[in-house]
Structure 1
């Protein structure tokens, strides 16, 4: 029995250490909810943490909501206090899997699809088949893409007074350069 447990622990530890992970803490996520003819509603967050396990294709990203920067400080304040409620919901998290991902077959700007769950404002929503451009250059993996969500999917209400100035549909852009983790 002890030998069986020892072999199991050895197998598990080898499996854990054989996984290849790539990580970034300087990923970029941009969202835009602009409506033409009005002030731009756009924010950038350049301190997003993301990790990919190249053996399994698992991917996860963590965004600190207060890290989004707007051109207009008042817009940023309204976003954090009234819409995202970032004190109550400080993080946005995406967990998913890259479909049919094989690191050995990556070429320059390979098109890979990802599906997973986005949790924002206390609500989780399944997202499927988001196309990403993925490439490997040395010890780096570069990923970029975009997808659209609706504010109402995350229980975010846009007040009537600004509903013609802020789009219900939000486009999210991502750009990650992940480095091989030793």
Structure 2
């Protein structure tokens, strides 16, 4: 009898903890490293996992590098083989916290929050501080953020032959609906 009660309590408590985490398995990350007057250097990954703890504001995201799609197949091949080395470094991982996050304060109008965390990419970790616009809709919690990083911060070398065609500063957009 005691074992049954203990198991029931554990199941109920694990269920309530699980309710704190909301997830998106189809978050979208787009990055751009274009330079004016040259071909667009832009890719999108539509299968990014993003998890938010609605009680604490902790947030984590995982993107598989080979999930990024470019308009030009050759650009995608160079990105995976020469720049990001996706066989050696297959994923990008972000872990952080949304400062002052309160799920109960969300409305249909986006509210700005600061996200502090660490982005792990290409075997390097870099501190990120970004603004996110977060709102509550019938679809779930919408999160949108834009921030920039430098390729050099992650030891991603841009070959001299294309240095004037690919920017070191990479603009990143995140768009997710968490449920």
When normalised by structure 1's length, the TM-score is 0.89
- 1:46-90 CA-partner distances (Å, limit 9, x unpaired): 000001010010100000000000000000000000001000000
Equivalent residues, number? 172
Task: Please tell me whether residue 124 in structure 1 is matched to residue 125 in structure 2.
Answer: yes
**C-alpha separation in 2, matches of 1:31 and 1:127:** 15
Q: Which residue matches 2:160?
A: 160
Task: Please tell me whether residue 61 in structure 1 is matched to residue 61 in structure 2.
Answer: yes
Q: In the superposition, relative to structure 1, how do residues 16 and 125 fare at CA in structure 2: closer, same or farther (>3 Å)?
A: farther
Contact 1:92–1:120 (Cα < 8 Å) also in 2: yes
**CA shift at 1:138, angstroms?**
3.7
**CA shift at 1:139, angstroms?**
6.0
Q: In the superposition, relative to structure 1, how do residues 97 and 140 fare at CA in structure 2: closer, same or farther (>3 Å)?
A: same
Alignment of 1:82-121 (within 5 A): 82-107=82-107, 108-121=109-122
Task: Please tell me whether residue 14 in structure 1 is matched to residue 23 in structure 2.
Answer: no
**C-alpha separation in 2, matches of 1:39 and 1:126:** 30
Calculate the aligned-residue CA RMSD, in Å.
1.9
Contact 1:110–1:135 (Cα < 8 Å) also in 2: yes
Can you give the 5+ residue segments of structure 2 that lack an aligned partner in the other structure? 1-5
Task: Please tell me whether residue 52 in structure 1 is matched to residue 52 in structure 2.
Answer: yes
Contact 1:22–1:140 (Cα < 8 Å) also in 2: no
Q: Which residue matches 1:136?
A: 136
When normalised by structure 2's length, the TM-score is 0.90
Task: Please tell me whether residue 41 in structure 1 is matched to residue 41 in structure 2.
Answer: yes
Structure 1 stretches of 4+ with a deviation exceeding 4 A read none
Contact 2:136–2:142 (Cα < 8 Å) also in 1: yes
Q: Which residue matches 1:177?
A: 177
Q: Which residue matches 1:151?
A: 151
**C-alpha separation in 2, matches of 1:138 and 1:69:** 29
**C-alpha separation in 2, matches of 1:116 and 1:162:** 31
Can you give the 5+ residue segments of structure 1 that lack an aligned partner in the other structure? 1-5
